Amino acid sequence: MNKPQSYQDIHYKITDAMLLVGMILSVPSATVSVLRNAQFGVTPILIVEVLVAAVATLTYFSRKKLKPSIRVYVLMGYIYIIASFSLFTYGLIGMGLFIYLFIILMITSLYGLKSGIATLVLV
């Protein structure tokens, strides 16, 4: 009979899956940002977006070297930064608000009500 997995194991598996999705989404996001920089000139927001996408990708590939809590902070920070940039980009305001809602729900479900309220106040 298999031993049931602990809450922490399940929590870290969910985090790894979300970090994989974030890494996969960061590659086209960074590519589009580089193309925008080439066409419209360099802006600080796009440079930060490319750097954050690179950090998210490196964090995913260094899973065995980094603590799971550090990977969670990088993932949540990446999602928060992408939501902030989307909120201040013309035409993506609705997507930015949706990403904020998503991150609030995700943090509330993973870490509890106090963390979710803190994230809501931060947004």
Asked if 76 and 92 touch (Cβ cutoff 8 Å), the reply is: no
Asked if 106 and 50 touch (Cβ cutoff 8 Å), the reply is: no
Mean pLDDT of the chain: 76
For 68-108, write each residue's pLDDT tens digit: 777 777 777 777 777 777 776 655 667 777 778 877 887 78
Fill in the amino acid letter for 91.
Answer: G
Residue 2 pLDDT: 67
- Report the alpha-carbon angle 27-86-34, nearest 5: 40
pLDDT score of 35 more than 70: yes
Dihedral angle computed from the Cα positions of residues 111, 102, 70 and 67, in that order, rounded to the nearest 10 degrees? 70
